[in-house]
Amino acid sequence: MRSRNPGPNTAPSAALSRREFIAAASAVSLTSAVATAATPTSAADNQTRLAIEGGEKAVRLEEKRPARWGEPERDRLNAMLQQDSLFYWQGPQTRLLTERFQQACPLKYVMPCSSGTAAVHIAVAAAGIQPGDEVITSPVTDMGSVIGIIFQQGVPVFADVHPRTHNLDPADVEKRITPKTRAIIAVHLCSNPCDLHALKAIADRHRLVLIEDAAQAWGAKYRGRPVGTIGHIACFSLQASKELTCGEGGIVASSDERFGPLLQQFGDKGFDRLRHQVFEALAPNYRMSEPQAAVAAAQMERLESLLTRRSRAGNLLTQKISGIAGVTPHEVHPEDRCGYHFYYFRMTPARFRVGRDELVRALKAEGAPVNAGYIPLTVHRNPVFQKHAFFGGRWPVRDSGLTTMDYSKVQTPEAEAMLEDGIRVTIHEGMTEEYVSSVAEAIRKVARHYAV
């Protein structure tokens, strides 16, 4: 069979041309796709893509905290080594620490002690808390805020917190007052001053003692006044994580004549060195040593510079993240100074496609110095409170009928929520404006990516 001859208008190579055309078209398409992938828009995509998904980090700077001690501390320690005694009473280092503390926080009676926990215990004892007496405080705090209450056989009562300041809600405090209430411990969380005018008014109205737990609040100011000078007794910590530190240590102070003269004896085994020099009360040994006082005295000289820079960094972060959908910045009153022991903001769960822990992982990948929440549980959710197992598995005050408190039934919903949806940001005095801005950009980038 013969093949068909091509017609007069058909080119002999028509079939080959069609194959060539298809191959050429495929090559052009592939080249175009490669060229598109290589265009400058891919760089922009890489910047907006989350770092956890292969994009560029928002925080590319490395910020290191400045040295926390140096020549001033060395000079004071060298002076201490020339002394015949390292005992606190009438010691030159302890006297110097007291003087420098009073320059920053002008209170008449000052007792340097072994820790912030010791400071609170001394304050509770000086306030005259007796078995079964109730002391209202925050459920979002270190255990050191309540240990002194329990050891004095008092009863911690936990009030809820404000959703944006994370400090005691005065309205809820007033609701928790009973005929057994004797004191309020206001915890200045994150170095953010509590609403002291409201709490002091409540304390005065109900004849309660107001104790300021300023463990995290060195240099903080409430309406221009140093934190610690509004309540009846002030407590500070010099533990290693605090802005000022001597490793471990604390200070308790007061200008109230009812309590101030008692501070020394309740930190010194009950021995009254100021007046009768006899034991009129039983108390622990919470004395500070001269080496600790030497370091702490040197640290006091750094306070104003540290707080100015930390406050500036935290306030700038608030400014930069305000307005981000689903993000609630840390609220500080415009007339107050917060030293930002840490910065704490909240993310509204309903506004995001993922949970808080996923958001934190994404922020860490961006280089942001963040962690999930603050403490794992509110204080009263810890097993020791749920089981009322404070002393050898028992609670004598409850066993004897002096209280009916049942911590398994205590509800503080706002405190629970802030621990579940909050994110903690590290703040330190070495942070530059550029660095803080990049942290804010990381928060904005992650929030935008996971927004509903």
Residues making up the chain, counted from first to last: 452
Contacts 24+ apart (CB under 8 A), 432-438: 432/61, 432/63, 433/316, 434/61, 435/59, 435/61, 435/63, 436/313, 436/316, 436/317, 436/320, 437/316, 437/320, 438/58, 438/59, 438/60, 438/61, 438/367
Helices (H) and strands (E) in the chain, counts: 16, 13
Q: What is the pLDDT of residues 359-411, one digit of tens each?
A: 999 999 999 999 999 999 999 999 999 999 999 999 999 999 999 999 999 99
Rounded CA separation 243/262 (Å): 27
Q: Taking the CA of residue 373 as centre, how many other CA atoms within 13 Å lie in the half-sphere pointing to its CB?
A: 17
Rounded CA separation 149/152 (Å): 5
Per-residue model confidence (pLDDT) at position 7? 40
Domain boundaries of the chain, sorted by first residue: 71-302
Which two structure tokens, joined as six digits, stand for 67? 């040295």
- Spatial neighbors of 407 by CB under 8 A, at least 6 apart, are 380, 385, 386, 388
Rounded CA separation 141/379 (Å): 7
* β 181-187/209-213 pair status: parallel
**Kind and range of the H or E element at 175?**
helix 170-175
Per-residue model confidence (pLDDT) at position 46? 59
Per-residue model confidence (pLDDT) at position 225? 98
Rounded CA separation 181/132 (Å): 9
Alpha helices in 283-432 (DSSP H): 290-300, 303-321, 356-365, 383-386, 396-399, 413-421
The string of DSSP codes covering 131-153 is TT-EEEE-SSS-THHHHHHHHTT
**Kind and range of the H or E element at 157?**
strand 155-158
Which residues of the chain carry a pLDDT beneath 50? 1-41
Beta bridge partner(s), residue 186? 212
Secondary structure (3-state) at 94: helix
This model's pTM is above 0.75:
yes
Per-residue model confidence (pLDDT) at position 15? 41
Q: Is 55 left (phi over 0), alpha (psi -120 to 50) or beta?
A: beta
Largest CA distance in the chain: 135
Amino acid identity of residue 201, one-letter, is: A
Q: What is the pLDDT of residues 138-161, one digit of tens each?
A: 999 999 999 999 999 999 999 999
- Name the fold adopted by 71-302: Aspartate Aminotransferase; domain 2 (3.40.640)
